[in-house]
């Protein structure tokens, strides 16, 4: 097509075993950019309210963006969207590596997968030809084993996105993995894939990604890569990976410890970026076309798991399996991370579910009889490794932990919902909003549930890093809630959603201005009239579409709420000692946010005027029914 898009998608009906091609309309490209935007538009149009997330009527949508696989810096991302089996609302995961670029090189922008196969299959796409193949020999295999078997003897080597045993066993927070260690981690989309009996999507090809003006695009890309190479952020992430931020968050008093009972971990020096570098780091790793190299190639060098190697852990993983579980053993956390990658599990939800079980056991809500004789205690490093395996296989107590903290609390009772650390069913990331109030607003307004990466609001609060993709990202005092700062959150949500749609990494949003990205879009697509305002408006449009999808599933203002622990239990020590994000303050922030968004204050549903402004007139009838 010569505009950054391949111009077509695959539709795969697993029930019928049929495969067809469809064109993507120019209107859909302009309105939603690509990636998460186009995927969400298909989900809204084709998956009505009330569909079982693990049933045949849910659809699993893979989608790349117009920058994915180009010479642009850090543009390796692809998105997967479906109704989430963990939350029951809009589910979205995003991954790097080089699966996204290879999907495009195989000839397609994306894939819509529908129905359920009567037997395990995998989808092979090679140079524009797609085939469903028997996966009986792959079912029951780990992610690593699956990739090895598929690649054996294959020329050229294909790139695979697959599920491990966790996805097959419908663990509600199972992940889709590519390049063995890169994860479409959140929302349990691996379980959707498993429910469809789809083991893997395998891509290879040499189709060129045509651009409107490839020479000018290369010049702009080279210049922007120069910006990234000169940044302090690159130096830090290259040296310490994402776990660079551990000391910063701990110093702010917002480092979740003992299932969020504390915000300071007194053994942080055993689990920070420096500790990882000294104990397990082997080499830095980068996604396709990325100069930052924040990935960690690691190996366990001593102890019972010596000789095991892989990638990671990332910051979130290190906290959730570490401090959140009261553990300061880098080898154990690294091993738990390896197993999550091999079985295909979201490390945030897995670690959080284990930490929640530990507190339930401590309080007598979860008994030894219920755990099958296992003492699930804080600080037991070997236990986290054992429990990851049980979760993936749904063995014993692992069957309960595989449901996630929301369902666990509903089943266990005993007041445990107070410290089940999720929003709308999605476990919270490792930033305590009692130490940065605006983060709490970000958790409750994120469309997929308790999520940080949608807005990346932890950057200007816990890390003191400006986000250049928006005009203003400065949070004056994270400990104090200011209603006007809700606009900063909104602006970051919109701009970074557009970045997801393009196929760019969030670190691009930290280091490049919207004008820089618009230059790339114009030269990739030929949309010479595409402006910064159009860029921001696309993100806002996608964000509101996702919100109405959630509203259609029953989400209202009352559901934009934090766990009681964060609103009622003051942090006991550290710089944020005595702090909560109380209900009154949260409601004040929500008022401000809804007003900026143009959402109804009583319900949290986007107003008809806002939807018309965004060109989402097709949603008006659905919104009318919600009133």
* Lowest mean pLDDT, pick from 5-14, 83-92, 279-288, 412-421: 279-288
Does position 374 have pLDDT exceeding 90, yes or no?
yes
Which uninterrupted H or E stretch holds 178?
Answer: strand 176-178
The pLDDT of residue 285 is 83
The pLDDT of residue 609 is 97
- Write the DSSP assignment of 92-112 as a string of letters: EEEE-TTHHHHHHHTT-SEEE
Quick check: 249 and 235 in contact, CB under 8 A? no
CA-closest candidate to residue 160, choices 191, 193, 119: 193
**Beta carbons within 10 angstroms of residue 407's beta carbon:** 17
CA-closest candidate to residue 216, choices 508, 530, 513, 519: 519
- Confidence band for 149, pLDDT divided at 50, 70 and 90: very high
pLDDT > 90: what percent of the chain? 86
Cα–Cα distance for residue pair 90/552, rounded to 1 Å: 10
Q: Where are the alpha helices (DSSP H) in 467-603?
A: 486-502, 506-511, 514-525, 532-552, 564-568, 583-597
The pLDDT of residue 294 is 79
The pLDDT of residue 260 is 98
The pLDDT of residue 14 is 98
Does position 147 have pLDDT exceeding 90, yes or no?
yes
Does position 251 have pLDDT exceeding 90, yes or no?
yes
The pLDDT of residue 506 is 79
Does position 188 have pLDDT exceeding 80, yes or no?
yes
Which uninterrupted H or E stretch holds 298?
Answer: strand 295-299
Q: Order across the sheet with 110-114: list the strands.
A: 18-23, 8-13, 110-114, 60-64, 78-83, 90-95
The sign one gets for the Cα dihedral 412, 164, 139, 304 is negative
Does position 4 have pLDDT exceeding 90, yes or no?
yes
Q: Which domains does the chain have, with CATH numbers?
A: 8-204 (3.60.9.10), 253-427 (1.10.569.10), 437-626 (1.10.599.10)
The pLDDT of residue 102 is 96
Count of helix runs (H) and strand runs (E) in the chain: 26, 17
Quick check: 84 and 43 in contact, CB under 8 A? no
Cα–Cα distance for residue pair 170/194, rounded to 1 Å: 6
Q: For 492-536, how does the pLDDT look when each residue is reduced to its tens digit (9 = 90+)?
A: 999 999 999 999 887 777 778 899 999 999 999 999 999 999 999
Does position 93 have pLDDT exceeding 60, yes or no?
yes
When pLDDT is averaged across residues 50-73 and rounded to a whole number, the result is: 96
Cα–Cα distance for residue pair 149/309, rounded to 1 Å: 19
Does position 229 have pLDDT exceeding 80, yes or no?
no
Q: For 553-571, how does the pLDDT look when each residue is reduced to its tens digit (9 = 90+)?
A: 999 999 999 999 999 999 9
pTM for this one? 0.97
Q: For 190-218, how does the pLDDT look when each residue is reduced to its tens digit (9 = 90+)?
A: 999 999 999 999 999 999 999 999 999 99
Does position 234 have pLDDT exceeding 90, yes or no?
no
When pLDDT is averaged across residues 398-424 and rounded to a whole number, the result is: 98
SS (H, E, C) 121-172: EEEEEECCEEEEEECCCCCCCCHHHHHHHHHCCCCCCCEEEECCHHHHCCCC
| Mean pLDDT, all residues of the chain | 95
- Confidence band for 296, pLDDT divided at 50, 70 and 90: confident
Q: For 588-624, how does the pLDDT look when each residue is reduced to its tens digit (9 = 90+)?
A: 999 999 999 999 999 999 999 999 999 999 999 999 9
The pLDDT of residue 543 is 98
Token pair 């209603």 is at which residue? Answer: 483
The pLDDT of residue 1 is 57
- Confidence band for 350, pLDDT divided at 50, 70 and 90: very high
Cα–Cα distance for residue pair 559/5, rounded to 1 Å: 37
Cα–Cα distance for residue pair 24/16, rounded to 1 Å: 23
């Amino acid at each position: 097509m010569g505009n950054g898009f391949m111009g077509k998608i695959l539709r795969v009906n697993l029930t019928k075993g049929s495969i067809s091609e469809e064109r993507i309309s120019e209107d859909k490209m302009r309105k939603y950019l690509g990636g998460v935007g186009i995927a969400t538009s298909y989900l809204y149009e084709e998956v009505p309210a009330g569909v079982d997330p693990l049933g045949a009527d849910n659809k699993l949508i893979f989608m790349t963006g117009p920058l994915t696989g180009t010479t642009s810096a850090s543009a390796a991302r692809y998105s997967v969207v479906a109704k989430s089996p963990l939350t029951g609302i809009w589910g979205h995961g995003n991954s790097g590596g080089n699966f996204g670029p290879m999907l495009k090189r195989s000839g397609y922008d994306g894939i819509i997968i529908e129905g359920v196969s009567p037997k395990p299959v995998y989808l092979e796409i090679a140079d524009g030809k797609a085939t469903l193949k028997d996966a009986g020999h792959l079912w029951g295999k780990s992610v690593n084993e699956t990739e090895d078997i598929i690649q054996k003897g294959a020329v050229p080597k294909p790139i695979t996105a697959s599920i491990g045993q966790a996805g097959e066993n419908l663990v509600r927070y199972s992940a889709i993995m590519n390049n063995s260690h890169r994860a479409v981690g959140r929302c349990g989309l691996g379980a959707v894939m498993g429910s469809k009996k789809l083991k893997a999507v395998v891509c290879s090809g040499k189709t060129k990604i045509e651009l409107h003006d490839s020479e000018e695009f290369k010049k702009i890309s080279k210049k922007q890569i120069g910006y990234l190479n000169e940044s302090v952020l690159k130096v830090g992430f290259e040296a310490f990976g994402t776990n660079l931020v551990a000391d910063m968050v701990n110093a702010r008093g917002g480092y979740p410890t003992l299932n969020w009972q504390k915000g300071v971990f007194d053994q942080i020096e055993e689990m920070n970026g420096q500790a990882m570098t000294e104990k397990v780091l082997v080499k830095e790793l980068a996604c396709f076309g990325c100069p930052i190299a924040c990935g960690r190639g690691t190996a366990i060098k001593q102890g019972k798991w010596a000789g095991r190697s892989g990638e990671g852990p990332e910051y979130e993983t290190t906290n959730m399996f570490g401090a959140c579980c009261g553990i300061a053993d880098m080898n154990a956390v690294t091993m738990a991370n390896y197993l999550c990658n091999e079985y295909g599990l979201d490390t945030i939800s897995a670690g959080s579910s284990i930490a929640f079980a530990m507190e339930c056991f401590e309080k007598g809500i979860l008994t030894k009889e219920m755990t099958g004789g296992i003492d699930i205690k804080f600080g037991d490093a070997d236990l986290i490794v054992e429990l990851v395996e049980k979760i993936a296989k749904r063995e014993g107590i692992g069957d309960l932990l595989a449901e996630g903290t929301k369902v666990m609390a509903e089943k266990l009772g005993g007041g445990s919902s107070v410290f089940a650390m999720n929003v709308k069913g999605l476990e919270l990331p490792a930033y305590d909003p009692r130490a940065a109030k605006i983060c709490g607003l970000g958790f409750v307004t994120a469309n997929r549930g308790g999520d940080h990466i949608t807005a990346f609001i932890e950057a200007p609060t816990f890390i003191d890093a400006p986000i250049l993709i928006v005009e203003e990202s400065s949070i004056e005092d994270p400990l104090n809630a200011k209603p006007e700062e809700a606009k900063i959150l909104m602006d970051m949500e919109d701009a970074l959603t557009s970045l997801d749609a393009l196929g760019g990494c969030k670190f691009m949003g930290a280091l490049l201005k919207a004008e820089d990205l618009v230059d790339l879009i114009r030269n990739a697509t030929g949309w010479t009239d595409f402006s910064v305002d159009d860029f921001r408006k696309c993100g806002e449009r996608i964000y509101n579409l996702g919100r109405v999808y959630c509203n259609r599933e029953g989400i209202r203002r009352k559901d934009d709420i934090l766990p009681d622990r964060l609103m009622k239990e003051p942090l006991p020590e550290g710089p944020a000692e005595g702090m909560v994000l109380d209900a009154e303050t949260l409601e004040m922030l929500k008022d401000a946010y809804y007003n900026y968004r143009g959402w109804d204050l009583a319900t949290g549903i986007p107003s008809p005027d806002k939807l018309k402004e965004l060109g989402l007139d097709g949603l008006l009838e659905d919104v009318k029914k919600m009133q």
